[in-house]
């Protein structure tokens, strides 16, 4: 039997449906076959080839992952794409943490939480990316303030790094501070190309 590549979308909070639809659309665009499923249990996490962590509230997201007993299993998934709070969860170093806040610590990046201000200061803008013009939506977004050795910029807007990637020891992680799932499937396509290139 052919094993289908399984891509999970962490389904506790945030744009779960949007990420599922963007990933399914991206698979179609690339003529690839894979299974995209919302996941919220350790058993489901164990079956995955790749995981997408949507936005939401990073403290709550992490706490729910801990409550589900899935943190160690998440760290073993070789391909992870995190957007907004998902990028916070991937980061190794975090500024403006909530008391006791923890992350998965998988990417050698420093992220400043809520760096653009409160929820009401959320905004949208057009950016130029390696994938063409893109509308980017920032919802109480974090800022990727520093990338360490082993991490490469993927999308930059002026001085700001809006997306970056880390490819190391058979793992691949992609972090974006904004919400590509709302406006484009290009970054999902880019992520899937990595997943299917293994
Ligand atoms: N401000 C949120 C946090 O700290 C992230 C916001 C988002 O994911 N849209 O988790």
Q: Is 103's C-beta closer than 6 angstroms to any atom of ligand 1?
A: no
CA-nearest residue for atom 5, ligand 1, is 85
- Mean pLDDT along residues 99-109: 97
Q: Which domain holds residue 123?
A: 5-195
Q: How far is the CA of 78 from the centre of ligand 1 (A)?
A: 24
Q: What is the pLDDT of residues 119-151, one digit of tens each?
A: 999 999 999 999 999 999 999 999 999 999 999
Mean per-residue pLDDT over the chain, rounded: 96
pLDDT at 198: 78
**CATH no. for residue 178?**
3.40.50.880
Buried b (16+ CB within 10 A) or exposed e, 12-26: bbbbbebbbbbbbeb
pLDDT at 1: 56
Residue of 113, 117, 123, 176 best suited for mutating to test ligand 1, as the one with most atoms within 8 Å of CB: 113
| Number of DSSP helices (H) and strands (E) in the chain, helices first | 6, 12
- Please state the atom number of ligand 1 nearest to the C-alpha of residue 61: 10
Q: What is the pTM of this model?
A: 0.97
Q: What is the pLDDT of residues 154-177, one digit of tens each?
A: 999 999 999 999 999 999 999 999
Residue 38 in tokens = 């919302």
CA of 119 to the centre of ligand 1 (A): 9
Write the pLDDT tens digit of every residue in 20-75: 999 999 999 999 999 999 999 999 999 999 999 999 999 999 999 999 999 999 99
State whether the Cα torsion 131-198-56-163 is positive or negative: negative
Q: What is the pLDDT of residues 169-198, one digit of tens each?
A: 999 999 999 999 999 999 999 999 999 997
DSSP SS3 for 140: coil
pLDDT band at 2, cuts 50/70/90? low
Please give the tally of structural domains in the chain. 1
Cα-Cα-Cα-Cα dihedral sign, residues 100, 87, 85, 64: negative
> Residue whose CA is closest, atom 2 of ligand 1?
57
């Amino acid at each position: 039997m052919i094993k289908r590549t399984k891509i999970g979308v962490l389904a506790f909070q945030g744009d779960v449906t949007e990420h599922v639809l963007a990933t399914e659309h991206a698979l179609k665009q690339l003529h690839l076959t894979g299974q995209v499923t919302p996941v919220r249990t350790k058993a489901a996490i164990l079956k995955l080839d790749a995981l997408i962590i949507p936005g939401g509230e990073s403290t709550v997201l992490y706490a729910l992952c801990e409550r589900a007993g899935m943190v160690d299993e998440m760290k073993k998934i070789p391909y992870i794409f995190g957007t907004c709070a998902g990028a916070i969860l991937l980061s190794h170093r975090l500024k403006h943490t909530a008391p006791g806040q923890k992350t998965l610590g998988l990417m050698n990046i420093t992220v400043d939480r809520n760096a653009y201000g409160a929820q009401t200061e959320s905004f949208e803008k057009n950016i130029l990316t390696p994938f063409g013009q893109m509308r980017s939506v920032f919802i109480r977004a974090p800022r990727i303030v520093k990338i360490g050795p082993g991490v490469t910029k993927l999308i930059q807007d002026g001085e700001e790094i809006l997306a970056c990637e880390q490819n190391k020891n058979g793992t691949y992680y992609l972090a974006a501070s904004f919400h590509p799932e709302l406006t484009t499937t290009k970054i999902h396509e880019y992520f899937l190309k990595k997943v299917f290139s293994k």
